[in-house]
Amino acid sequence: MNDQLEYIGKKIQEKSTELAWRTCEFSKADHVYSLNYTRSESIHSMQTRTFYLLGSYLVSCDEDTKKTLLSFADIFAQKAIIRLSTLDQVMRFVYLSRTIIFDFLEEELKQGLIQTDTVFQTMKIIDPICLSISNTFINHYNDKLSSTKFALDESNEDLRITLKELTELKNALNEATIFSICDLHHQFTYVNDKFCTASQYSKEELLGQPHSILDSAFHPSFFFEQIDKILLNGHVWKGEVLKQAKDGSHYWVDTTIVPLLDQSGTPYQFISIQYDITEKKRAEEMLQKTEKLSMVGELAAGIAHEIRNPLTTIKGFVQLMGESKQEDYFTETILGEIERINFIVNEFMVFAKPHDVLFSECNLSVLLQDLISFLKPEALLKNVTISQHLPKEHVTISGEKHQLKQVFLNLIKNAIEALPNGGNVTLTMETTREEVIISIIDNGIGLSSDQLQRIGEPFFTTKASGNGLGLMVSYKIIQNHSGHITVKSEPNKGTTFSVKFSRVT
């Protein structure tokens, strides 16, 4: 995906002049006077430079490029003010720039040069930077108004212009997103048409209602409590939320909630910008099922071997019971072996069978201990020792335990398979008040720098029989848990996978 973003960024750089002229064509079609209608070479060169820097930002996505782009927006705004361009005109240029980039992406998609996900990922990068550019323009025009004699004239005409500018901003958001505004009590004060289409409620049914009217009962109560805590502290929240429409159907939205603050820094309303990602989530679910089936097959041989051992023990002791009087000892041994079989089979079935995805408080200490017990037979077959340094007390996070088992099962299995001649796998857990970090460390064959950069890519694998889906699915599951995976490795020295989560407070 990063390669495709880089490709798109470079294409936008190459076509920056052409894209800048397209803004003029849009304005002619709409019969709207814009910056481009002046056909000013200096303004056109500024527009070309804007597209070029947007392309550069897609290539690098780093803060330095972003600062360069926003600094250029400062210069653009200053020149536009000197040329007596209105805020309405420069804001329209931002809106048209976003539209032209989206049209360009559609062209690339139709030609099969990029994937659908690349379009969404690109717009998720472009939209915030366009908003930042808009804010830069607005701030310059506000400063200009403040520095002129007309700034003190609070006339109806000034108010009309301001409302018109705000309307343009709202229209831009309405075109691109599922958009809503809530008051301090999380009751809807505004929803756009796309919001109504997604939720299947009319505006009349939504206005004045709390956002909980769309609660799917998927997320636990503390999930929304944590969001509330972040917003009331004046910070932006980003994440994925499952909603329930009026007809009872469910849909996923990628959500950004921005608190608007008064002069004292206290939130007084919240703006929510959402994108429907239901189809994307369904595709991820299919990938998880595919990877799970693959892992079930890989585990079967080790499990069969481990079950065969206690069955042999039971058979032997049953034969001895007919020849000995030590029945109590034999009975206790047989029951212990049966219990061992029961544990292995139960763990296998929990992993293999379908289940509902439900976030709740997960005890990571218990989950990891169970997985270690489950994987020890396979480790022993490959002459691998699994050791652990886990806290005795309960360490909990908000998560879906079956998905988390799938992730850590995959990571520990990978560590075992990285030791073809035997070795050691170590699990550690570090905890603070805010977060927990789990590390899976092996002293195996390690990864080269090129391999390390490709970790998590679809269909990239270092195993002869692998398909590359396991780590990709694991990365996505951890991302959905608001977590993060980091990897450190050296060839012939070993690899460390670290998974970081926020703790339940």
CATH number of the domain that 271 lies in? 3.30.450.20
CATH assignment at residue 334:
3.30.565.10
Kindly state whether residues 323 and 366 are assigned to the same domain: yes
pLDDT at 151: 47
Instruction: Give me Rg for the CA atoms of the chain.
Output: 29
pLDDT at 29: 47
What would you measure as the largest C-alpha separation in the chain, in angstroms? 110
Kindly state whether residues 410 and 443 are assigned to the same domain: yes
> How far apart are the C-alpha atoms of 431 and 391, rounded to whole Å?
9
Average pLDDT over residues 459-474: 66
Kindly state whether residues 382 and 434 are assigned to the same domain: yes
Higher-scoring residue by pLDDT: 82, 111? 111
> How far apart are the C-alpha atoms of 15 and 104, rounded to whole Å?
10
351: three-class secondary structure by DSSP: helix
> Each residue of 122-147: pLDDT tens digit?
888 888 888 888 888 777 777 776 66
- The answer to whether 237 touches 206, Cβ cutoff 8 Å, is no
Q: Where is the domain boundary, 153, 176, 199? A: 176
Q: Where is the domain boundary, 230, 249, 276? A: 276
Domain that holds residue 233: 178-276
Kindly state whether residues 331 and 271 are assigned to the same domain: no
Kindly state whether residues 332 and 431 are assigned to the same domain: yes
15: three-class secondary structure by DSSP: coil
CATH assignment at residue 69:
1.10.490
DSSP string, 412-478: HHHHHHT-TT-EEEEEEEEE-SSEEEEEEEE-SS---HHHHHHTT-TT--SSTT--SHHHHHHHHHH
Kindly state whether residues 83 and 160 are assigned to the same domain: yes
Kindly state whether residues 239 and 346 are assigned to the same domain: no
Kindly state whether residues 442 and 468 are assigned to the same domain: yes
**pLDDT at residue 165 is higher than 60:** yes
Kindly state whether residues 98 and 232 are assigned to the same domain: no
Average pLDDT over residues 285-300: 58
Kindly state whether residues 142 and 186 are assigned to the same domain: no
Kindly state whether residues 207 and 268 are assigned to the same domain: yes
Share of the chain above pLDDT 90, in %: 19
pLDDT band at residue 269 under the 50/70/90 scheme: very high
pLDDT at 385: 92
Number of domains in the chain: 3
> How far apart are the C-alpha atoms of 176 and 168, rounded to whole Å?
13
Q: Where is the domain boundary, 176, 205, 238? A: 176
Looking at every residue in the chain, the average pLDDT score rounds to 78
Kindly state whether residues 286 and 256 are assigned to the same domain: no
- The answer to whether 207 touches 237, Cβ cutoff 8 Å, is no
30: three-class secondary structure by DSSP: helix
> How far apart are the C-alpha atoms of 350 and 302, rounded to whole Å?
17
